[in-house]
Amino acid sequence: MSRTNFIDLTADLKEITALAGHLTRVDDLIMNSLEYLAEVIPYDLAAVLEISGDFLKVRVARGPLARKEILNHRLALSDFPTIRRVLESRRARILTENDHAGEEGDPYHGILDLPDGHSCMVVPLFAGDRSIGVMTFDNRTCGLYDPEVINIASIYGQIISLGIVAAEQASLLSRYRRQVEARNVLLAEEATGFTDARELIEHTRSDAMRRIVAMARQVAETDAAVLITGETGTGKEVLAGAIHRWSRRSRQPFITINCAALPERLVESELFGHKKGAFTGADADRAGRFSIANGGTLFLDEIGDLPLGAQARLLRVLQEGTFEPLGSDRTVKVDVRIIAATNVRLEDAIAKGAFREDLFYRLNVFPVALPPLRERLEDIPVIARDFLESLRKRTGRGPWFLDEKTLERLREHSWPGNIRELINTLERAAILTPKGELDIDLPASGSRRATAGLEVNGDWPTLETMEREYILKVLKKVNGKIYGPGGAAEILGLKPSTLQSRMAKLGIRRIKKQF
* pLDDT, tens only, 246-287: 999 998 889 999 888 877 778 888 888 888 877 777 777 788
Over pLDDT 90: what percentage of the chain? 21
- Give the per-residue SS3 of 426-488: HHHHHHHCCCEECCCCCCHHHEHHHHHCCCECCECCCHHHHHHHHHHHHHHHCCCCCCCCCCH
Per-residue confidence band for 301, with pLDDT thresholds at 50, 70 and 90 = very high
Q: Average model confidence (pLDDT) for the chain? A: 81
pLDDT tens for residues 96-112? Answer: 766 655 556 677 777 77
Per-residue confidence band for 501, with pLDDT thresholds at 50, 70 and 90 = confident
What's the pLDDT at 448? 55
Per-residue confidence band for 178, with pLDDT thresholds at 50, 70 and 90 = low
Taking residues 225-235, report their average pLDDT.
Answer: 92
pLDDT tens for residues 135-158? Answer: 999 888 877 787 788 888 888 888
Give the domains, in start order, of the chain with CATH numbers. Answer: 3-170 (3.30.450.40), 193-371 (3.40.50.300), 374-505 (1.10.8.60)
pLDDT tens for residues 362-389? Answer: 999 999 999 999 899 999 998 898 889 8
Q: Is residue 347's pLDDT more than 70?
A: yes
pTM of the predicted protein model:
0.54
Q: Is residue 189's pLDDT more than 60?
A: no
Give the bridge partners for 109, in sequence order.
112
Phi, psi of 77 (to 5 degrees): -60, -30
- Burial category of 269 from C-beta neighbours within 10 Å (exposed 0-12, middle 13-18, buried 19 and up): buried
Q: Is residue 482's pLDDT more than 80?
A: yes
The beta-strand segments (E) located in 194-331 are: 226-229, 254-258, 297-301, 322-323
Phi, psi of 229 (to 5 degrees): -115, 160
Q: Pick the residue with more confidence: 399 or 515? A: 399
Q: Is residue 186's pLDDT more than 80?
A: no
DSSP string, 13-39: HHHHHHHTT-TT-HHHHHHHHHHHHTT
* Omega cis (within 30) before 399: yes
Q: By three-state DSSP, how is residue 257 classified?
A: strand
Picking from 339, 287, 332, the residue whose alpha carbon sits closest to that of residue 313 is: 332
